[in-house]
Structure 1
Amino acid sequence: MTDPIQVTGPLIVEGKLADNERLKDESDYLRGTIADDLKDRVTGGFTADNFQLIRVHGMYQQDDRDIRAERQKQKLEPLHNVMLRARMPGGIITTEQWLGIDAFAQEHTSYGSIRLTTRQTFQFHGVLKPKIKLMHQTLNKYGLDSLATAGDVNRNVLCTSNPIESELHQEAYEWSKKISEHLLPKSRAYAEIWLDEERVETTEGEVIEPILGKTYLPRKFKTTVVIPPKNDIDVHANDLNFVAIAENGKLVGFNLLVGGGLAMTHGDKSTYPRRADDFGFLPLDKTLAVAEAVVTTQRDWGNRVNRKNAKTKYTLDRVGINTFKAEVEKRAGLTFEKSRPYEFTSRGDSFGWVEGIDNKHHLTLFIENGRILDYPGAPLKTGIAEIAKVHKGDFRMTANQNLIIAGVAEEDKETIEKLARDHGLLNDGVSPQRKNSMACVAFPTCPLAMAEAERYLPGLVTNVEAILTKYNISDESIILRVTGCPNGCGRAMLAEIGLVGKGPGKYNMHLGGNLAGTRIPKMYKENLGEQDILTEIDALVSQWVDQRQSNEAFGDFVIRTGIIAEVKVSKRDFHD
């Protein structure tokens, strides 16, 4: 799916560097003065550059926006806390690790919940400053960390959750771990600050960050390993994607997709969501070299002047895909072969029980919004902990905010299922529409949120379910996603209906994504209120039911009938 537009522009963007470049350059390789800030009890937050630097350590400073105005009236600073995102390549977590994070969430976070995310990991929300160091040390106790899950680095590496083809998945999962480790920052700042490791002075001339460089990457960078035909990690939302190619059930190499990304800025037409381009096939022994070559090319050529245009997708569009690809080949010491055939046929999770080729069973649980908490009549958090106490396999977090209980022996199925049902984790009444809907966190914790998302989604889905029932298609669904801002965390820009927050109770509606996740939707209506959204969805579903071709999906229908134009080349078509 190579972009037919081949613009050749300057390899380096000249101009005054963005202030983040100064910040990284002066950070002493990510240390800053974070350690000093931790000792300051006058404020619950981090000051100056440390507010940004803690992101590379896996944390975002937030506050409870629901009570912000009231605290201002009381002349109090916002109730600062941090959200931590763990580093979990491939999303696999042991039961011992789960029980460890469950206990920490219960005892030391303001919300008591564990949040499964679209980055195939978990987040803690509402950790106050006095508990931050304990949080990192607790993770370390269980063999976990949060290094490089945010900031201008390569973030948590995703991998298809496929529990069925277990041998192939194991190979792909191992590569996701290798890629993650290879691209991590080499600075020891994380261990020194959070784990009390003693600093060892470097020798003169030593290169501290051979891959990322002293000022790290121009912008965040996301990587995946995907096993067709499942596109359950949405490759086109990511900078770098390794598509697994198998022969006789064994992994032989990868097709490489580069330059995907979904974030944009309202009102700025120089920003847009973009799908990734196919560079070709590479053998397994070149995997790490190619990963490094893509990252270092983006490191050297990415826009460090304007952060809104700093992602890999804009570098490709500026310098030209062929130019970027040739540089990667040069740095990695290979020539890409022609891509091997593959097809994405779906991207959701397979709920309920499935049996793997190793005769183990796997149970995928639907977790609405990924929020694991004890609710009235549905003590989800307690239920998963009880399962973890008896389960002999592991858990797998999916990139769709759900949880797989993996590796269950035949004789243990009944026990696991009973625990899941008794705690509201397994509900046969969840509709296809609810299973294919997703939202980011947004209010009250995300500082970037313009509108509700996680708290808005359940009611919105109930209303959409009613519309589908009205037209006698309640057994079908539309891929529906909501984000509180245009940064793309809920991957609305790969949905059949994507709602992007514009302001309180207001959203831009985008239409035209497809089931495989290979098409960017286009804006249909701007600044819609919640009732307007339902009115539009009702009218569109009515047309779909009346005019659809055999088994035609909603996203394909709105493109075929001209309700919305297809986005073939984002730079040209998305804002047209």
Structure 2
Amino acid sequence: MADTDSKISTDTVKLSKMEGIKEASHQLRGPIPEELLNQEPSFSGDAAQLLKFHGTYQQDNRELRNRKDADGNRMAKAYSCMIRTGVTGGQMTADQFLVEMDLADKYGEGTLRLTTRQAIQLHGVLKQNLQRTIHEISKIKLDTYAACGDVNRNVMCNPVPYKNNPVLEQMQEMTKAIAAHLRPRSTAYFELWVEDPDGHKENVAEFQPVEEPIYGATYLPRKFKIGVALPEDNHVDIMTQDIGLLAIVENDAVVGYDMYVGGGMGRTPAKKETYPALGKPLAFLAPGEVCAVAEAVVKVQRDFGNREDRKVARMKYLVDKWGIEKFREKVVEYYGQSLSPVRGVKVTGVDDYMGWREQGDGKLFVGINIENGRIKDEGDLRIKTGLRAVVEKYKMPVHLTALQSMILCDIDPADKDDIASMLKEHGIKTAEEYTISRRFSMACPALPMCGLAVTESERVMPDLMSQIEAEMAKYDLQEELISVHMTGCPNGCARPYTPDIGLVGKAVNKYTMFLGGNAEGTRLGFIFQDMVKFEDVAPTLSPIFAYFKAEREGKESFGDFCNRKGLEDLTEKVSSAA
């Protein structure tokens, strides 16, 4: 496989600081070993950057930054770590889920968070507990390696547990194969976290490098994401990924995948050269070709992606700069064989898997909506206690969805009533008690812990959805699927640029409103209004809901309607209603 073509020369460009950190890190170790031994409450900048490759973000509580002691002196920042466990394809055992809950209590701040990429996050882990927490995660055959950082991250796949379904089984096996194939080879993770965390055996002076055949010395220019889905169920939003794989099914078997490349959500409003993008069609691949072609794509990004400016370092910018034809030619060169054109099968639907459903083998599963992914007890809603009770009693597998919710699998029909009763006892609502719009809503964590957030997201999303639902009900639209995603900054962790309504934090209490996407994730929305105050979001949408009710065509979705009408028409309608 050719991977020695002309690469970015350090003699002609000024690389970003992160490139130097990676190159000097001794394969992702850097100062981490020494700093784990000191008594400081936080890691240095270089160590904090490298910790991301190990699945950890250093954070501080921004609401405590201006604390003062009894003498009026400003106190130090309240540092802690967020630990992200990658869950390939979203599939966990009961014991794995329960241990994550235990670790949240023992070392974290008491809650779990289900992410938009089928992973689990522990928040509030203090530095002195970091090694022990990750070590405990490794003991349940999960890990946090490459859950963050400039590498391929958690690989996503439809997690629905229909049994006797060879298609879903083949997709999950492919997901696992890709994740294993693109895993970094550095032994740093094992030495730092999996070996006896109290042994402190790591000695940088004795560093012996191992071969990193895919990532090389400086890994990728930026993060890399992959998802696998079906045309009738684009549950994981493959068009928003660096590599999206759409399964092509014939005679109840996956005959191959249409591969799309160059999707990505983040943007920086102050830099007009940044933007969200959907994947572009690269090739149709037989199952046996997928891992090798994915490797070739990763290597092309490794060698030609932008290492000067991290804001334009995602692969989407390389694909757009070159054009898909040139990009395909380079992938073919690295792969060493020709590629077949995509089959062009279209995405037609999406599912959230909520509620009670037959599994296909005589058993049931139940999808439980976890609003914005936060598993906690608050007032009468005791999600954490209720889930613990059910999973401890029945030991069922737990699958994580791309909509920040979860599925309890392999349920004997005889146990349905008891499980339903236990969930109700803890205030956990049935799927039917939520609007479908709320079930499809998502929000990123944002404040107070995320250092990038400019305004609220998770904490205000439930109230916002109540306001939006009230406006929808005025026009008898409460049964419509109108997807709403919110983020506290433009980086787009909750994929806000593709749903019917996207809200992206722009300033304190103000958002950029996007319209015209869809729940299927096949179209980018357009900016409808900028700097919309939180309290004005629902009132701004109300006249558009009325317009949609009056002039939709057939079963046209809200996003399709907004896309058809366009910015000028919708703006005029809102202005006339003011």
Relative to the length of structure 2, the TM-score reads 0.92
Match of 1:116 in 2: 114
Task: Name structure 1 gaps, 5 residues minimum.
Answer: 1-9, 567-576
CA contact (8 A) 2:502 2:515 kept: yes
- Which stretch shifts more, 404-413 or 213-222? 404-413
Cα deviation for residue 355 of structure 1 reads 1.4
Q: How many residues align?
A: 555
CA contact (8 A) 2:26 2:209 kept: no
2:267 counterpart letter in structure 1: M
**Which of 1 and 2 has higher RCO (CA within 8 Å, sep 6+)?**
1
CA contact (8 A) 1:348 1:400 kept: no
Change (3 A) 1:442 1:315: same
Match of 1:377 in 2: 380
Cα deviation for residue 390 of structure 1 reads 2.7
- Which stretch shifts more, 334-343 or 536-545? 334-343
For each residue in 1:395-419, what CA deviation from the matched residue of structure 2 results, as whole angstroms up to 9, or x when unmatched?
A: 1001110000112232332332222
Taking the TM superposition and a 5 Å limit, the aligned residue runs for 1:19-58 are 19-41=17-39, 43-58=40-55
- Which stretch shifts more, 97-106 or 471-480? 471-480
Cα deviation for residue 205 of structure 1 reads 10
Say whether 1:309 aligns with 2:308: no
Say whether 1:193 aligns with 2:196: no
Cα deviation for residue 199 of structure 1 reads 6.0
1:504 counterpart letter in structure 2: V
Cα deviation for residue 474 of structure 1 reads 1.7
Match of 1:407 in 2: 410
CA contact (8 A) 1:345 1:515 kept: no
CA contact (8 A) 1:451 1:502 kept: yes
SS of aligned partner of 2:399: strand
Percent identity of equivalent pairs: 38
Match of 1:4 in 2: none
2:497 counterpart letter in structure 1: M
Match of 2:478 in 1: 474
Cα deviation for residue 134 of structure 1 reads 1.0
Say whether 1:353 aligns with 2:356: yes
Change (3 A) 1:37 1:204: closer
Considering only aligned residues, what root-mean-square deviation do their CA atoms show, in Å?
A: 2.2
- Which stretch shifts more, 417-426 or 498-507? 417-426
SS of aligned partner of 2:530: strand
1:537 to 534, 541, 546: 541
Cα deviation for residue 113 of structure 1 reads 0.3
Match of 1:92 in 2: 91
Say whether 1:134 aligns with 2:138: no
Match of 2:325 in 1: 322
SS of aligned partner of 1:69: coil
Counterpart Cα distance in 2 of 1:413 and 1:328: 50
For each residue in 1:316-341, what CA deviation from the matched residue of structure 2 results, as whole angstroms up to 9, or x when unmatched?
A: 11122111112212222332223235
- Which stretch shifts more, 326-335 or 401-410? 326-335
For each residue in 1:306-359, what CA deviation from the matched residue of structure 2 results, as whole angstroms up to 9, or x when unmatched?
A: 111111100011122111112212222332223235332333403101213333
1:355 counterpart letter in structure 2: E
Cα deviation for residue 288 of structure 1 reads 1.1
1:100 counterpart letter in structure 2: V
1:301 counterpart letter in structure 2: F
Match of 2:576 in 1: none
Match of 2:169 in 1: 170
Taking the TM superposition and a 5 Å limit, the aligned residue runs for 1:514-533 are 514-533=518-537
Counterpart Cα distance in 2 of 1:387 and 1:168: 29
Cα deviation for residue 247 of structure 1 reads 2.0
Change (3 A) 1:204 1:95: closer
2:125 counterpart letter in structure 1: V
Cα deviation for residue 392 of structure 1 reads 4.6
Counterpart Cα distance in 2 of 1:205 and 1:395: 39
CA contact (8 A) 1:57 1:190 kept: yes
1:436 counterpart letter in structure 2: F
Change (3 A) 1:565 1:269: farther
- Which stretch shifts more, 543-552 or 217-226? 543-552
2:138 counterpart letter in structure 1: N
Counterpart Cα distance in 1 of 2:381 and 2:493: 27
Cα deviation for residue 71 of structure 1 reads 4.8
CA contact (8 A) 1:289 1:332 kept: yes
- Which stretch shifts more, 16-25 or 528-537? 528-537
1:511 to 495, 511, 515: 515
Cα deviation for residue 235 of structure 1 reads 1.0
Cα deviation for residue 243 of structure 1 reads 1.4
Say whether 1:499 aligns with 2:498: no
CA contact (8 A) 1:11 1:319 kept: no
Cα deviation for residue 495 of structure 1 reads 1.4
Cα deviation for residue 550 of structure 1 reads 1.2
CA contact (8 A) 2:160 2:353 kept: no
Cα deviation for residue 202 of structure 1 reads 12
1:141 counterpart letter in structure 2: K
Counterpart Cα distance in 1 of 2:567 and 2:552: 13
Match of 1:105 in 2: 104
Counterpart Cα distance in 2 of 1:467 and 1:80: 41
2:135 counterpart letter in structure 1: Q
Counterpart Cα distance in 2 of 1:192 and 1:420: 41
Match of 2:151 in 1: 153
Task: Name structure 2 gaps, 5 residues minimum.
Answer: 1-5, 571-578
1:280 to 283, 298, 306: 283
Change (3 A) 1:473 1:59: same
CA contact (8 A) 1:234 1:347 kept: no
Change (3 A) 1:202 1:225: farther
Match of 1:418 in 2: 421
Match of 2:467 in 1: 463
Counterpart Cα distance in 2 of 1:19 and 1:338: 39
Change (3 A) 1:392 1:170: farther
CA contact (8 A) 2:256 2:285 kept: yes
CA contact (8 A) 2:66 2:75 kept: no
Counterpart Cα distance in 2 of 1:288 and 1:299: 16
CA contact (8 A) 1:32 1:53 kept: yes
SS of aligned partner of 2:491: coil
SS of aligned partner of 2:256: strand
Cα deviation for residue 488 of structure 1 reads 0.8
Counterpart Cα distance in 2 of 1:199 and 1:340: 50
Match of 1:551 in 2: 555
Match of 1:572 in 2: none
Match of 1:487 in 2: 491
SS of aligned partner of 2:245: strand
SS of aligned partner of 1:136: helix
2:320 counterpart letter in structure 1: D
Cα deviation for residue 267 of structure 1 reads 1.9
Say whether 1:59 aligns with 2:56: yes
Cα deviation for residue 564 of structure 1 reads 5.9
Counterpart Cα distance in 1 of 2:225 and 2:78: 31
Say whether 1:252 aligns with 2:255: yes
Cα deviation for residue 76 of structure 1 reads 1.9
Taking the TM superposition and a 5 Å limit, the aligned residue runs for 1:386-397 are 386-397=389-400
Change (3 A) 1:528 1:182: same
Change (3 A) 1:374 1:203: closer
